[in-house]
Each structure stands twice: as structure tokens, then as C-alpha cells.
Chain A
Amino acid sequence: MKNLTGFKTLLKREIARFMRIKIQTFVPPIMNAALFMIIFGFFIGPRIPQIEGIDFILFFIPGLITLNMITSSYSNSAFSLFLMKFVGHVSDILTAPMSYKEIVLGFTLGGVIKGLLVGILIYLTSLLFKPVIIFNLPLLLFFLILTSFVFASLGLTVGLWASEFEHVEIFTIFLITPLTFLGGVFHSIKFLPPILQTITWWNPFFHIVNGIRYSMIGLNEGNILIGIIMILLLSVASFSINLHLFRKGYKLRT
């Protein structure tokens, strides 16, 4: 049984939620990115040697977009669901005639849209500092959409599991932020000693940052195919986990 209207309503609600707190949603990532571009791009960047003939600022803009997009889509679905549980109106969704697939997709796509908006806004901001001509737009969209999807899904899982606000932050602090930074948002893998290069290869965030960087500016430091396969697998896996948890009523049904 399909309830497309139900799904669309939930998605609309998710969008309405972050649009109601526009400033809180969009200003911090843009400010943050703009500051990075000013300080590292203009003040420090010229002192850093080019990477494969590319200015430092150009190198880290894709990284900045990835970092902010990941945190935005993650925190959107995590906090949205957590708050719903906290306030108690999650039961409106749970007692409506929506399939679990529709519920999970509604929440997840809300996070995807927020992540994409943040990514696009940062890209537009970066044009003020360094005009970037997109190298491969379809591939870029593929990476941006699926990366947002994976992290919106992770956010949903954490939102489900969390019983305190702190639980949501823990993942950002100890998982997402360090692994994205170490995945090469600001540095080239070539800067690292061989052993760290090998370790970085096993950091999934590296392949995400690299995929987005390649499709944006054409610089490839890894293997794009691995990135594509990995992000596809992560998307399917994270969605399936959430579907399973919602179906079981994990932390939703007593």
C-alpha cells in the first residue's frame, strides 16, 4: 500500500522545520566556510606550495563543502527524530498509515535536501573568493546526493538510538569531524608518510572527499571507482538498517 501524500507531507514537514530556523541552519556553515576561505585562502594559502599545480584555496573548497554537507545532513535527521521522540509527537507519524519505507525516506530525504542546500550555498560563497568551474557535474551531483543520503541515514539511526541530546553530538565530535578532517579536507594525502597514506586509504571519508574534489576540480588522489562503489554500498546499507529498525520499532515502540 502506498501513501505518497503521507511521505510528501513528512518531507514537507522536515523542510519546514529547518526553514523555520533558517539562520541557525544556513548562516553558521556559510560563515564558517567564508572564514576558512579568507584566512586559509588569502592569508595563509599563498605561503603554501601549490598541490599538483592547484592553489590551496581551490584544493580545500571541495573539502569544506563535503565537511559542512555531511554535518548538516547528519544533524538534521538526528535532531529532528530525537526531538520528535523527546516531545512525543513522533507517535503521529507512527500511527499514520505510512509504510516504514515512506517514513524512513521522508526523514532521510529531509536531511539530504538540507545537506545539498548547505553545499550549494557554500559553493556560491566560494565563487566570491575563487571561481571554480565544475569539472564533472553529473558525477558531482551523484557524490553530493549520496553522501548526504548516507549521513542523513546515519543521523536517523543515531536520533533513534539517542536518549539524550549529548548522544547526537558524540558522533559529530568523535566520528564525523575527525574522520573528515583526516580524510583530507585540508591536506593532500601526498603530504603524509607512507604508513599514514595507507591508513587514510581505509578511511571512507577520504574516498568521499576525493570523489567530490575530483568531480569539482578534476584532481584525483585516490580511486574514483572505489569511491562510487563505497558510497553506493553505504547508501543501501544505511537505508536498510534504518528500515529494519523502524520496522522492529527499535526505541519507538515499548
Chain B
Amino acid sequence: MVNALSIKGLNKSYNGLQALKNINLEIEKGDFFGYLGPNGAGKTTTIRSIVGLNNFDSGSIKVFGYDVIKDYQKTRGLIGLSRQDIAFDPFLNVRKILEFQAGYFGIGKKDAETRAEELLKAFDLKEKENARFRELSGGMKRRLTIAKALVHEPDLIILDEPTEGTDVELRRRLWNYFKKINNEGITILLTTHYIEEAEKLCNTIGIINKGEMIKVDSTENLLQNMSNQKIEITLNQKLDKIPDKLKKQIKCELKKNGNVLEVVCKNADVELSKVLNALNAQKIGVKHVEIVKDQLEDIYLKITGGVREEFDRV
């Protein structure tokens, strides 16, 4: 089956600055893909290359099997884009913005009106349909941007930081909406630097840093395989050294920290009983056990080599 998006060997530089380095990416039909990376990583540049707002140096991009350069009209018709930067036609009111957008995508007047009406309702903009966009709040502008991307019922929706600058309430509503349309079979590519957003919504996550695709995997795998889990066992006594016997029996990394023994492993649930048995055999008493699992955020920071402070939490 042909993929919704297929990027091969994409390179892009801006006067000397290599913004994308040999990006490869496959997104299956129906996937909810999270494109995760810190600011300046190259997410928007990738998107602009897909939709034709960027020229790129080399590589190929296909949308549902169509080449974005050779069959540009076809691919543009299949994509709905919600850009990171908000910009609307200042000569049109909210309703007209949606109707004209539909027109640009080849939708006739009658259908355009119906579609605009649907979206005004779905995005709670009905009250503001006659307003100019300057009269809208930040959240409304964001909603209008997303509504505009959906006007022609695209098969692939690209959302570039759709929840940036939104409040908690709107964010939840948008998340629910995205999940809903994804469940209806629409493929979604969402960029974000909010880890929680990717973790909550996406089936697949690609992590980009400094123009390089560092990791692409299912969210599940990423959380499971990439994460190191840790069993923290508080002992009744301080250990001078970790007993050799224990080291032999437990194949995981062992660290001691005062009277706390740390077992770093891939699957804490499996290792736990082994560790406890081994300790028991050594007659070492256990006071308290805690399992610490890495969050996606920790994994992400590990991969991108970033520091926690750099990232916004939702």
C-alpha cells in the first residue's frame, strides 16, 4: 500500500546553513505522526518542502505516491496545511476566509458555503463569522487556521505546532478533534515541541534535532525500548560493595547509593522478582521498592542532548 508521505534523502540549506540533513521519513495512511524536535530543529522546513513553500536541494517527496514537484497540483489538493505562522487575508471576514480557501481548492460556491458553515460550527466561530481576523482572539485565530486547513477535506493534514500559544482548555478540545478526524481515517502529521502532546496523540513519533532525523518509531516502542527503567531498592543496611553473587545473578546494571540499590534495566517488572530473590538469598533486608520509568521527555532529552529547561511542558 502506498504511504501517505514518503520522504527520501531530503536535503535543504539556507545560504550555507544546512537546515535538513538527509531526512528520510515514511508515514503510513491513517497514521497519527508526531514530528518532535526543539525549536530550530527543521520541522517547519520539512513541512514547507512538502507543500511547496520551500525549494529543496536534493531528495524526493511523495504524497500518496505523487511527486510534490512533478504532480504539485495533485499533492497540494491532498494536503491540508495549518501553518505555524498565522496569516489571513485582511480583505475577507472569517466566513469568507473559509469560503475563498475552499474556492482556491476547486470547491464550487454552494459546497464551499456548506463546508464553511460546518467548520464555523465545529470550531466555535459562528458568532464571529462576520468579523475580520484582527478582531479575533489568539485562540480563535488558531482555530480558524486549523479550520481553513480542513476546508477541502484533505487526506493528509499537516499541523505545524497547532497548539502553540493555546490555553489548556482549547488544547484539550483540539486534541480531541485531532483524534476524532484521525479515527475517521485521515492521516495526520503534527509537529510539536511539547512532548506530552506527541505522547498523548501520536501513534508514531519521529524525533528531529539540528536537521537530522534521529529516531522514528511507534510511540509504544519508543517508550518501551528506548527507556531505561530503574528499580530503586532501599535496603535495611548500607552496602560496602555490591556482592559479586548479586552481580552474577542480575544481568542489569547495578549501582549503589548509600543504602539504596539501583537496578537499571529494560523491563523492571520482569527483573523485580529476580532481584528480590537474589537479595533474599544474600540475606539482605529490603525496606522499600520503587520502580522509576523514564518519561518520553527523558528519552527525548537523551536523544537530542538537550537540557530540561529548554523545553516547555504542557
Residues of A within 8 A of B (CB): 1, 3-6, 8-10, 12-13, 16-17, 20, 83-84, 87-89, 91-99, 249, 253-254
The reply on B104 being an interface residue by CB < 8 A is: yes
* Chain B positions within 8 Å of A8 at CB level: 103
With most chain B CB atoms within 10 A of its CB, the pick from A10, A99, A253 is A253
* Chain B positions within 8 Å of A3 at CB level: 73, 105-106
Q: In the assembled complex, how far is the CB of residue B22 from the closest CB belonging to chain A, in whole angstroms?
A: 20
B264-308 interface with A by 8 A CB criterion:
none
Task: Name the segment of B2-10, B47-55, B192-200, B246-254 touching the other chain.
Answer: B47-55
Q: In the assembled complex, how far is the CB of residue B58 from the closest CB belonging to chain A, in whole angstroms?
A: 16
Q: Are A89 and B74 in contact (CB under 8 A)?
A: no
* Chain A positions within 8 Å of B104 at CB level: 6, 9-10, 92-93, 96, 98
Top 10 nearest A-B pairs (CB, nearest first) are A9-B103, A88-B87, A97-B77, A96-B104, A97-B73, A97-B76, A89-B87, A1-B73, A3-B106, A5-B106
Residues of B within 8 A of A (CB): 14, 48, 51-55, 72-74, 76-77, 79, 81, 83, 85, 87-92, 100-101, 103-108, 148
Q: Are A91 and B54 in contact (CB under 8 A)?
A: no
* Residue of B whose beta carbon sits closest to that of A10: B104
**A5-B103, A6-B103, A91-B83 given; 6 more Cβ-contact pairs under 8 Å:** A3-B105, A84-B89, A87-B89, A88-B87, A95-B52, A97-B74
Q: Roughly how many angstroms separate A1 CA and B77 CA in the complex, as a whole number?
A: 11
Q: Roughly how many angstroms separate A16 CA and B90 CA in the complex, as a whole number?
A: 11
Q: Roughly how many angstroms separate A13 CA and B96 CA in the complex, as a whole number?
A: 10
Q: Are A249 and B108 in contact (CB under 8 A)?
A: no
Q: Are B54 and A95 in contact (CB under 8 A)?
A: no
Q: Are B105 and A96 in contact (CB under 8 A)?
A: yes
Q: In the assembled complex, how far is the CB of residue B191 from the closest CB belonging to chain A, in whole angstroms?
A: 16
Q: In the assembled complex, how far is the CB of residue A106 from the closest CB belonging to chain B, in whole angstroms?
A: 10
Would you list 14 pairs from A and B whose C-beta atoms are within 8 A, ordered by A residue?
A: A3-B106, A9-B104, A10-B104, A12-B100, A12-B103, A87-B89, A88-B87, A91-B87, A92-B89, A93-B104, A95-B51, A95-B79, A96-B104, A98-B73
* Residue of B whose beta carbon sits closest to that of A248: B55
Q: Roughly how many angstroms separate A6 CA and B101 CA in the complex, as a whole number?
A: 9
* Residue of B whose beta carbon sits closest to that of A252: B53
Q: Roughly how many angstroms separate A89 CA and B107 CA in the complex, as a whole number?
A: 19
Q: Are B53 and A253 in contact (CB under 8 A)?
A: yes
* Residue of B whose beta carbon sits closest to that of A247: B72
* Residue of A whose beta carbon sits closest to that of B48: A254
* Chain A positions within 8 Å of B81 at CB level: 95
Give which listed residue, B51, B53, B73, B91, contacts A17 with CB less than 8 A. B91
Given A12-B103, A94-B52, A95-B52, residue A88 in contact with residue B89 (CB < 8 A): no
Q: Are B89 and A89 in contact (CB under 8 A)?
A: yes
Q: Roughly how many angstroms separate A3 CA and B14 CA in the complex, as a whole number?
A: 32
With most chain A CB atoms within 10 A of its CB, the pick from B55, B72, B106 is B106
Q: Are B55 and A253 in contact (CB under 8 A)?
A: yes
* Chain A positions within 8 Å of B103 at CB level: 5-6, 8-9, 12
Q: Are A91 and B53 in contact (CB under 8 A)?
A: yes
Q: Roughly how many angstroms separate A35 CA and B104 CA in the complex, as a whole number?
A: 42
Give which listed residue, B53, B100, B101, contacts A254 with CB less than 8 A. B53
Given A16-B91, A95-B52, A249-B55, residue A9 in contact with residue B100 (CB < 8 A): yes
Q: Roughly how many angstroms separate A1 CA and B72 CA in the complex, as a whole number?
A: 10
Q: Are A253 and B91 in contact (CB under 8 A)?
A: no
Q: Roughly how many angstroms separate A98 CA and B152 CA in the complex, as a whole number?
A: 14
Q: Are A20 and B91 in contact (CB under 8 A)?
A: yes
Give which listed residue, B53, B74, B100, B105, contacts A94 with CB less than 8 A. B53
* Chain A positions within 8 Å of B54 at CB level: 253-254
Q: Roughly how many angstroms separate A5 CA and B103 CA in the complex, as a whole number?
A: 6
* Chain B positions within 8 Å of A1 at CB level: 73-74
* Chain B positions within 8 Å of A16 at CB level: 91-92
* Residue of B whose beta carbon sits closest to that of A8: B103
Q: In the assembled complex, how far is the CB of residue A160 from the closest CB belonging to chain B, in whole angstroms?
A: 15
Give which listed residue, A5, A83, A99, contacts B108 with CB less than 8 A. A5
* Residue of A whose beta carbon sits closest to that of B108: A5
Give which listed residue, A4, A13, A99, contacts B89 with CB less than 8 A. A13
* Chain A positions within 8 Å of B76 at CB level: 95-97
